[in-house]
Amino acid sequence: MRQFTLEFWKEEDWYVGRLLEVPGVFSQGETIEELKKNIQDAYRMVMSSEDVSFIPLTASRIPLELAN
């Protein structure tokens, strides 16, 4: 299980949010709990449609800080 940051705000009667670490994963819900569920669904859809088969299982990962 991986941990992500959910950034969210209120637009009229909806909570709208995105995952900061995964560009393109946005969703909405009438409650925070519904938003969390919908974000998980959006994440699964994006990850299942993205071809990452070219990345070796032994790839290294390091934290990287970038300026705006």
More reliable by pLDDT, 1 or 8: 8
| Of the candidates 1, 8, 43, 49, the residue with the CA atom closest to the CA atom of residue 23 | 43
- Residue 68 confidence (pLDDT): 58
Evaluate if pTM is beyond 0.95. Answer: no
- Residue 14 confidence (pLDDT): 97
Sorted by where each begins, the domain ranges of the chain are 6-49
- Residue 67 confidence (pLDDT): 66
Give the pLDDT confidence of 8-65 residue by residue, as tens digits.
999 999 999 999 988 889 999 999 999 999 999 999 898 888 676 777 888 777 766 6
CA dihedral 67, 54, 40, 25 (to 10 degrees): 40
